[in-house]
Amino acid sequence: MYVELKNINKTFGDYKASDNVNFGIEKGKLIGLLGPSGSGKTTILRMIAGLENPDSGEIVIDGKVVNDIPASKRGIGFVFQNYALFRYMTVFDNIAFGLKIQKKSKKFIKERVNELVKLIGLEGLEKRYPSQLSGGQKQRVAFARALAPNPNLLLLDEPFAAIDAKVRQELRSWLKDMIERLGVTSIFVTHDQSEAIEVADEIIITNKGRIEQIGSPIDIYQHPDTAFSASF
Ligand SMILES: Nc1ncnc2c1ncn2[C@@H]1O[C@H](COP(=O)(O)OP(=O)(O)OP(=O)(O)O)[C@@H](O)[C@H]1O
Ligand SMILES: [Mg+2]
């Protein structure tokens, strides 16, 4: 397993956001983390990314326990729920951000950003600011920014939540293609069942901080383990 969560617990005040969470993810897979609002999906991503610490349990990435490794050293790319682009930076500078932090050379940054701009199909828009882009274009830039430093693991927290239905449909298949082509292990959070079924190799269903079921989209659809999975 490339990523493993072992007996993870996390409490906010007296609310259990993660209740003995256990799962493993194979390298190169695209996992859908599916569950209703408040079921603990973002909390799980934030703990994997190192933006939040579990109260107990271990997070293992590529065979190493990473609990004490800071977020910046985990080699993880993160795309957030609402476009979190830097408003005062151009498309080019947004994508270059992580590379500048890594102190890559100007030449390297230029080449890498150009490659990514091509990949996301936004050639010619490098000098635009986020306010001059559509919602779908912004999320593609966010995706490119997360990919720029070559992460080992990509976390996407409802990346299309703020985008209207038609564009969302297009972006879904675009994202699935992209991730398959790049072969980067990814976790995709959604509360939309059809989105999870269409996008994911494997689905993890969360409910009230617990994992309800793990399986392929077809498995879960045909053999729900619990009443919750069935109804959801
Ligand atoms: N920093 C925090 N402080 C206090 N409570 C928190 C904090 N972060 C999350 N919670 C609580 O933990 C629970 C799980 O939150 P989380 O954001 O993980 O849910 P989610 O599944 O991502 O929901 P959504 O689909 O609405 O994004 C919620 O009840 C939330 O209010
Ligand atoms: Mg969330």
Q: pLDDT by residue (tens digit) across 41-92?
A: 999 999 999 999 999 999 999 999 999 999 989 999 999 877 679 999 999 9
Q: Specify if 34 maps to a domain.
A: yes
| Residue 147: band (very low, low, confident or very high) from pLDDT cuts 50, 70, 90 | very high
Q: Specify if 120 maps to a domain.
A: no
137 C-alpha vs ligand 1 centroid, how far in Å? 27
What's the farthest any 2 CA atoms get from each other in the chain?
56
Instruction: Give tens-digit pLDDT for 164-182.
Output: 888 888 888 888 988 998 8
The CATH number that applies at residue 220 is: 3.40.50.300
Q: Specify if 42 maps to a domain.
A: yes
Q: What is the token pair recorded at 93?
A: 């500078």
State residue 83's pLDDT score.
Answer: 63
Q: Specify if 88 maps to a domain.
A: no
* Test site for ligand 1: of 11, 39, 81, most ligand atoms within 8 A of the Cβ: 39
Q: Specify if 115 maps to a domain.
A: no
Structural domain boundaries enclosing 23: 3-75+151-231
Angle, vertex CA 136, rays to CA 204 and CA 113, nearest 5 = 95
Q: What is the token pair recorded at 98?
A: 């992580």
Q: Specify if 40 maps to a domain.
A: yes
Q: Specify if 23 maps to a domain.
A: yes
Beta strands 153-157 and 76-79 are parallel
Give the 3-state secondary structure of residue 37: coil
Compute the half-sphere exposure of residue 135: CA atoms within 13 Å on the CB side of its CA: 14
| Residue 229: band (very low, low, confident or very high) from pLDDT cuts 50, 70, 90 | confident
| Beta-bridge mates of residue 206 | 211
Ligand lying nearest the CA atom of residue 157: 2
Total domains, the chain: 1
Beta strands 202-207 and 210-215 are antiparallel
Q: Specify if 7 maps to a domain.
A: yes
